[in-house]
Amino acid sequence: MSESEKLKLLEEAMEMDEGSLKPELVLDEIEEYDSLTKLAIIVLIEDEFGKKLSASDFKGFTTVADILSVMEA
């Protein structure tokens, strides 16, 4: 899956406009990044990539790129 396809999936999960996410963005600075969004991201990654993320995984995420890096099967 290409980076732009992954970004698009993430934008949908986070209910953000297409093209608004960039890998270098800091997660805590994204207004939409809250507890509800994290739930949506967990569901996305489990459904698309078969991975189960935990709370400690999220603690390790600083940028959008960190999430993109786990979006692999």
Please report, as ranges, the residues that interact with another protein according to CB under 8 A. 34-36, 38-39, 42-43, 52-55, 58
Question: Closest Cα to residue 27, out of 69, 65, 56?
Answer: 65
Closest to another protein by CB, 26 or 39: 39
Query: Is residue 5 a contact partner of residue 11, using CB atoms and an 8 Å limit?
Result: no
CB of 31 to another protein, least distance (A): 10
CB of 55 to another protein, least distance (A): 4
CB of 35 to another protein, least distance (A): 5
What are φ and ψ of residue 43, in 5° steps? -65, -45
